Amino acid sequence: MKKNLMSVAVATFAFILMGAGVSKNAIKYKNGIAIINTSSIVKARGLNSKTPIKIYIKGNKITKIESLPNQETPAVFASAERLLKKFIGKSVDEASTMKVDGVSGATYSSKALIQNVKGGLNYYKENKK
């Protein structure tokens, strides 16, 4: 019994370490722009799937946010995506603390996108060069 418990603990620890390694590549730098990919660092889900994004930051301000492929209903997700514009032009600290309302009719997708933005920005603050 103790051996099985120890095996599970070792396997769990290894899995955590593998996951930690994946998120090391969540920030890329290109031409002075930090690009944060939330695919491996934020587990937020809309109604049908994860809703990863890329956040572009230059001079500590958000310049662009783009959605990555997902399995959300396209028309519903398009409504939720509009709220991403609220973060553009904001500083990282300002955007991290913003209160943003979800889009009616796209509540799950909205909440997931907001979680992705905030999670990505927090990751950036903790891991930027």
Separation of CA 123 from chain center:
9
What string of pLDDT tens digits covers the 129 residues of the chain?
555 444 444 444 434 434 444 456 899 999 999 999 999 999 999 999 999 999 999 999 999 999 999 999 999 999 999 999 999 999 999 999 999 999 999 999 999 999 999 999 999 999 998
Decide if 115 is inside a domain. Answer: yes
Cα gap 54→51, rounded to integer Å: 10
Domains in the chain, number: 1
Nearest Cα to Cα of residue 102 among 119, 115, 92: 115
Decide if 122 is inside a domain. Answer: yes
User: What is the extent of the structural domain holding 102?
Assistant: 26-127
Cα gap 112→86, rounded to integer Å: 15
Decide if 4 is inside a domain. Answer: no
Decide if 38 is inside a domain. Answer: yes
- What CATH number is attached to the domain comprising 34? 3.90.1010.10
Decide if 7 is inside a domain. Answer: no
